[in-house]
């Protein structure tokens, strides 16, 4: 075997001792790890050193570039419209991509959205769309470009040749306690998004119990790091910090969230889903210079719905087909009368997962019909015995463990407790981060 120009132990020592890894060594270690010339235990040690000691901005930018270079970049030069994309760091009830992509496309941009499947308590966009009969996640490069030109929006699975270094490193971080390293989170997300080739990118960085980042300071650090990486790569990048202490909308689950997304595209739907969809659409369009449009009007007048139907049909789906429904339902009633002050996003996400809507391992199957319907949200008046949550599952045996997840997940303040009763949900958009 040909000798390697550097050795992994030296790279590990540099970062272990708080130093900056030189550019040629960054390029080598990512390439060698992708090829299998750097062992898993060596990359594990390097990932832990990065978690403990961080990375300098220029060092992280080079690391991200090397991850992009491990595979192919998408060539969007044949797309006739300006391209703009969105990435969410994941939450509960986060179905925003579904109405957002067709909405932005209806207003003149192209949205090349490469999405993933859910893991744990956060749902995956592809899982949601796969609940539509006939819809397929995999497209060839030619189909991808053609759909961007004819429909204006694609939501599909990323190919294996997009940042393959990230796929290996992502799995490694999961089993080595290094998932929380902000440089590694940022480079993981941004290597894939930059490789997608869009001109503009809007990041939806979630904050709260149902999010990866539980507090505003960590979320802001991640957002600032990703915005800097995107800007350095020549992609117009903006981040919104958005609340994920309460689930988005009134559903968490695959077909349930598709149904709710269609309501939004029909001009209705929950106010928080509409608000965030419009806010992100405005940012995505502004990133490519489209500012003289009204996203809210395009939801109301049916333009976005027309694009949705074409987008689903183009990938083999039937937009008119009935969505799967659960065989079993179970209601959780309000234990007292008053104002609902809290509905914990993480607990709802875990309940939906236990009902069958999510997976513990990547190879697990998900139930398209399972999930949670929230019949009340924080700020709503409720009465003792009133249905608060409706659990959907294919197997009634799943209800007990889902109920356990929801124990203590909500708070009800008596009407006389004016201070607690007046505590509504926090603002949905908490901050905006730009370069």
* pLDDT attached to residue 347: 97
pLDDT in tens, 281-307: 999 999 999 999 999 999 999 999 999
Residue entry with tokens 């201070």: 419
Query: Catalytic pick from 62, 87, 117, 309?
Result: 87
pLDDT in tens, 61-116: 999 999 999 999 999 999 999 999 999 998 999 999 999 999 999 999 999 999 88
pLDDT of 1 > 70? The answer is no
Closest CA to 424 of 374, 370, 378, 373: 378
**Residue 159 pLDDT class (50, 70, 90 cuts):** confident
Could you say which DSSP state residue 121 is in?
Answer: T
CA separation, residue 345 to residues 91, 114, 157, 210, 378 (Å): 8, 25, 26, 5, 11
CA separation, residue 68 to residues 267, 295, 318, 337, 369 (Å): 39, 33, 35, 55, 36
> Of all residues in the chain, what percent are helix, strand and coil, respectively (each to 5)?
45, 15, 40
- 253 and 93 Cβ atoms separated by less than 8 Å: no
Class of domain 8-54 (CATH, top level): mainly alpha
Annotated active-site residue 166? The verdict is yes
pLDDT of 123 > 90? The answer is no
* pLDDT attached to residue 54: 96
**Residue 180 pLDDT class (50, 70, 90 cuts):** confident
Euclidean distance between CA atoms 266 and 320, whole angstroms: 14
Q: What is the mean pLDDT of residues 131-160?
A: 94
Q: Which residue has the higher pLDDT, 430 or 363?
A: 430
Least confident of 209-213, 408-412, 413-417: 413-417
- 61 and 232 Cβ atoms separated by less than 8 Å: yes
Annotated active-site residue 95? The verdict is no
Alpha-carbon dihedral sign for residues 331, 360, 175, 67:
negative
Give percent above pLDDT 90 in the chain. 86
Annotated active-site residue 121? The verdict is no
Do domains 8-54 and 328-421 share one topology? The answer is no
Per-position DSSP letters for 283-344, written without gaps between them:
HHHHTTT--S--HHHHHHTSHHHHHHHHHHHHTT--TTSPPP--SEEEEEE-SSSEEEEEE-
* pLDDT attached to residue 2: 62
**Residue 364 pLDDT class (50, 70, 90 cuts):** confident
Annotated active-site residue 422? The verdict is no
- Note the pTM of the prediction, 2 decimals: 0.94
In the beta sheet, which residues pair with residue 433?
239
**Residue 174 pLDDT class (50, 70, 90 cuts):** confident
CA separation, residue 422 to residues 3, 380, 388, 419, 429 (Å): 68, 10, 19, 5, 20
Residue entry with tokens 């202490």: 245
Query: Catalytic pick from 61, 187, 188, 261?
Result: 188
Long-range contacts of the stretch 211-218 (C-beta < 8 A, 24+)? 211/89, 211/90, 211/91, 211/244, 211/345, 212/89, 212/90, 212/122, 212/185, 213/89, 216/241, 216/430, 216/431, 218/182
pLDDT of 235 > 60? The answer is yes
pLDDT of 415 > 90? The answer is no
Annotated active-site residue 128? The verdict is no
Class of domain 328-421 (CATH, top level): alpha beta
Q: Map out the domains of the chain as residue ranges.
A: 8-54, 84-321, 328-421
Query: Catalytic pick from 65, 94, 127, 166?
Result: 166
pLDDT of 257 > 90? The answer is yes
Query: Catalytic pick from 95, 117, 173, 193?
Result: 173
Euclidean distance between CA atoms 254 and 368, whole angstroms: 5
Domain 84-321: give its CATH code. Answer: 3.40.1030.10
**Residue 37 pLDDT class (50, 70, 90 cuts):** very high
- pLDDT, mean over the chain: 93
pLDDT of 422 > 70? The answer is no
């Amino acid at each position: 075997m040909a000798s390697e120009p550097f050795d992994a132990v030296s790279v590990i020592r540099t970062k272990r001792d708080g130093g900056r890894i030189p550019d040629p060594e960054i390029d080598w270690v990512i390439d060698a790890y992708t090829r299998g010339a750097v062992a898993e235990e060596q990359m594990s040690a390097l990932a832990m050193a990065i978690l403990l000691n961080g990375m300098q901005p220029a060092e992280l930018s080079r690391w991200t570039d090397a991850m992009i270079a491990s595979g192919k970049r998408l060539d969007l030069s044949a797309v006739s419209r300006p391209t703009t994309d969105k990435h969410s760091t994941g939450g509960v009830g986060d179905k925003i991509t579904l109405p957002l992509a067709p909405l932005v496309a209806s207003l003149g941009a192209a949205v090349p959205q490469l999405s993933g499947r859910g893991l744990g308590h956060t749902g995956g966009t592809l899982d949601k769309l796969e609940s539509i009969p006939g819809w397929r996640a995999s497209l060839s490069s030619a189909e991808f470009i053609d759909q961007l030109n004819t429909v204006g929006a694609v939501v599909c699975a990323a190919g294996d040749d997009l940042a393959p270094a990230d796929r290996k490193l992502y799995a490694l971080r999961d089993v080595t306690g290094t998932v929380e390293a902000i440089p590694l989170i940022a480079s993981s997300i941004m290597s894939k998004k930059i490789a997608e080739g869009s001109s503009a990118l809007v990041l939806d960085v979630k904050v709260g119990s149902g999010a990866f980042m539980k507090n505003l300071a960590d979320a802001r650090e991640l957002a600032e790091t990703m915005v800097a990486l995107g800007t350095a790569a020549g992609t117009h990048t903006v981040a919104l910090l958005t609340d994920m202490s309460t689930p988005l909308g009134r559903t968490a689950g695959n077909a349930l969230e598709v149904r709710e997304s269609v309501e939004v595209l029909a001009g209705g739907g929950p106010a928080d889903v509409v608000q965030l969809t419009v806010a992100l659409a405005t940012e995505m369009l502004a990133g490519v210079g489209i500012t003289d449009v009204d996203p809210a009007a395009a939801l109301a007048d049916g333009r976005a719905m027309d694009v949705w139907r074409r987008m689903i049909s183009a990938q083999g789906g039937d937009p008119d087909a009935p969505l799967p429904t659960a065989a079993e339902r179970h209601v959780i009633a309000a234990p007292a009368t008053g104002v609902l002050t809290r509905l914990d996003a993480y607990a709802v996400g875990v309940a939906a997962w236990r009902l069958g809507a999510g997976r513990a391992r990547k190879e697990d199957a998900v139930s398209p019909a399972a999930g949670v319907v929230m019949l009340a949200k924080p700020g709503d008046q409720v009465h003792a015995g009133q249905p608060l949550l409706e659990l959907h599952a294919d197997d009634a045996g799943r209800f007990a463990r889902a109920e356990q997840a929801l124990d203590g997940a909500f708070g009800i303040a008596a009407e006389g407790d004016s201070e607690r009763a007046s505590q509504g949900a926090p603002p949905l958009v908490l901050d905006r981060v730009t370069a």
